[in-house]
Amino acid sequence: MPEIIRSILSSSVYDVAIETPLERMGPLSDRLGRPVLLKREDLQPVFSFKLRGAYNKLASLSDADRARGVICASAGNHAQGLAYSATRMGVRSVIVMPTTTPSIKVEAVKRLGGEVVIYGDAFDDARLHALDLCERENLCFVHPYDDPEVIAGQGTIGVEILRQHGGRIAALYVPIGGGGLAAGIAAYAKFLRPDIKVIGVEPEDAASMKAALAAGHPVPLNEVGIFADGVAVREAGELPFAILKDTLDEVITVSTDAICAAIKDIFEHTRAIAEPAGAVSLAGLRKHAPTLDVPGAAIAICSGANINFDRLRHVAERAELGERAEAILAVTIPEKPGSYRAFMRLLGSRAITEFNYRIAPGSNAQIFVGIGLKGGDAEKAEIIAMLREHGHTVLDLTYDEVAKLHIRYMVGGRVEGLRNELLYRFEFPERPGALLKFLEGLAPDWNISLFHYRNHGSDYGRVLTGIQVPPGEREAFEAYLDTLGYAHWDESDNPAYTMFLASA
C-alpha cells in the first residue's frame, strides 16, 4: 500500500488535467438528510477522468518508449484521454475502435490527434487487433485500467476529495468497470482515512467486480449489458481486484432506471448531462446512503459526460421509473362502452403518462397504462389495491424490461390461431448486416411472426422477435442462437407478452 500511495502522490496529471470541484447537491442533500457531494470529473478537457491515468502512464515511460508510440483499444473515454495526452507530449497514438463505435467518438479521437483504426464487430476483436499491431509496429500498449501508473493517475481524484472536504465523510461511492478508478481512490482513502466507507457501484447487468469478489478472483461474465458502456467490462482487472478486495467495504448494483434517475439529478443540479457510466456512482449513493448508520457526507463521482445526444430520449423515458415517479400497469377492463371513463374516474386527478389500447374480441379488454406518482412505490401499491377492489385484474409491469422497451409500442398486435411462437429479446450490434446475419441462419420453416426494433442511441439495438419453431426443432434453434453470438433472452413466458401479444 505505501508504494501505491507514493505513486499517487507523485503522479504527473496536472500538466493536462484540472482539479475538478466538489459540489454540494442541495435538493438531494435535503432529501437524504446529509451532505451529498459530487466530484465533477465531467469538467476535464476530454469530459472524463480517463485523462488522468492515460497521461500519468505516458509520463512514466522512458524517452525511448515514448518515441516508439502508444496504442490502445477503446471505444470511448480511454481513447480520448490517451489521444489528448499523447498529442500534448508529441507522441504518436494509435487507437483501435470496433466498427460499432458511434461516429461522434471516432471523430473526437481524430480531432485530438489519434490515429484511428476501425476493426472488428466487438471490443474484444479490437483489443486483439491492437495487441497484434502493438507487436508488429513495436508500440507501447496502454491498458485502460490494469496498470499501476494508470491506477495511480486515477487515484489523484481521491487526494483532491479528501483535501477539498475537511469535514466528516461517511462514504465514498466509486463506479467500477475494470476497477482502475475505484482502486486508486479506495487505496488512498483507506490509507489516510480508514473510517470512510468505500462503496463500489456497478450496473446490475455488468457487475464484473462483484463476481470477482464472490469467486475470489476475476471471472468473465457470460453477458454484459451495454447501457452504461463506460463501465461495461466483461472481467475485472487483476491489479484493481488485488487492491479492491482489501479496500472496498461493499459492492452494490444499480438498475438502468436508477442510472437514468441519477442522470436527471445531475442535470437538475448542474445543468450538465452525465453519460450513463458517469452517473452510476450517484445512482448507488441514492440507493445506499439511506442505510448509512454514521453521520457525515456521502460523495459520488460524476466520472464522465461523453453521451450521444440521441440517447437522451431513452434516458428521459426511464428516469421517471428510476425515481419511482411512474407506474406502468396492465389492467383488464370490461370491453363495453363507458369502461374507459369509469377507469379514469377511479384514478381521479392522477396524471396519466401513457395509455395504450386496441379493441379485442371477447368481454374483456387489456390496457397498458402509465400513471404519474408522487408517493413512489407506496402510492403505486395503493393504486393497484384500489383497482383490484373494483374488480380489475392488474399486472405491475414497472420493472419489466420487455414491457418498457417493446410491448408499450406494440399493444394490439394479437393474431388468432398462431402456433409454436417463441418470443426472444436480442441485443444486436448497431452495424450494417447485423440483422441479415440473423436472418440468413434461420431454417426455412422458422417463420418470423413478430419483430420490434427501436434505436436507443447506443452501440447495440434492442430487438424483440417472435419466431415460429416446431417443438421438435427447439434444440436446433437453441443451438443456432448459441452460434449466432448475439446476447439473447427467452421471453416466451413474459407476462406482458402473454397479456398483450400472445395468440389466444
Segment 269-317, tens digit of pLDDT: 999 999 999 999 999 999 999 999 999 999 999 999 988 787 887 788 7
- Say how far apart CA 22 and CA 185 lie, in whole Å: 15
Give the mean pLDDT of 218-230.
86
Tens digits of residue pLDDT in 439-489: 676 777 787 777 777 655 555 667 788 888 889 999 988 888 888 778 888
Among 39, 50, 57, 197, which one carries the catalytic annotation? 50
Please report the pLDDT score of residue 343 as a whole number: 83
pLDDT in tens, 110-155: 999 999 999 987 677 888 999 999 999 999 999 999 999 999 999 9
Enter the C-alpha cell of residue 378.
Answer: 407506496
Per-residue pLDDT, 415: 66
**Which whole number is the average pLDDT over 338-344?**
76
Instruction: Enter the DSSP assignment of 8.
Output: H
- State the chain's mean pLDDT as an integer: 88
What are all long-range contacts of 473-481, with beta carbons under 8 Å and residues at least 24 apart?
Answer: 473/443, 473/445, 473/446, 474/422, 476/443, 477/422, 477/443, 477/446, 480/441, 480/442, 480/443, 481/424
Q: What is the pLDDT of residue 10?
A: 93
Look at the chain and count its residues.
504
Q: Are 215 and 164 in contact (CB under 8 A)?
A: no
Question: What is the rounded CA–CA span in Å between residue 285 and residue 300?
Answer: 7
Mean pLDDT over 63-90 rounds to: 93
pLDDT tens sequence across 493-503? 988 888 777 77
φ/ψ of 91, rounded to 5, equals: -110, 140
Diameter over CA atoms, the chain:
82
144 in Cβ contact with 74 (< 8 Å):
yes
Amino acid at 29: S
Binned at pLDDT 50, 70 and 90, residue 159 comes out as: very high
pLDDT of amino acid 170: 98
Q: Which three cell numbers stand for residue 245?
A: 478486495
Q: Which residue has the higher pLDDT, 347 or 491?
A: 491
Residues with Cβ within 8 Å of 440's Cβ and at least 6 positions away in sequence, in order, are: none
pLDDT at 414 over 60: yes
Instruction: Count other C-beta atoms under 10 Å from residue 356's C-beta.
Output: 17
Q: Is 110 one of the catalytic residues?
A: no
Least confident of 125-139, 158-172, 225-239, 427-441: 427-441
Q: Which of 303, 404, 449, 458 is catalytic?
A: 303
Quick one: cell of 297? 457526507
pLDDT at 202: 97
Greater model confidence, 326 or 410? 326
CA–CA dist 199, 171 (Å, integer):
7
Classified as helix, coil or strand, 386 is helix
pLDDT tens figures, 368-396: 888 888 888 899 999 999 999 999 999 99
Structural domains of the chain, ranges and CATH numbers in brackets: 2-48+148-318 (3.40.50.1100), 50-141 (3.40.50.1100), 324-399 (3.40.1020.10), 418-500 (3.40.1020.10)
| pLDDT score recorded for residue 329 | 92
- Catalytic site residue 50? yes
* Separation between Cα atoms, residue 242 and residue 212, nearest integer Å: 10
Place of cell 452517473: 279
Strand 115-118 versus strand 93-97 pairing type: parallel
**Per-residue pLDDT, 60:** 95
- 43 band by pLDDT with thresholds 50, 70 and 90: very high
Residues of the chain with pLDDT > 90, as a percent, come to 55
Let me know if 114 is exposed, middle or buried by CB neighbors in 10 A (0-12, 13-18, 19+): buried
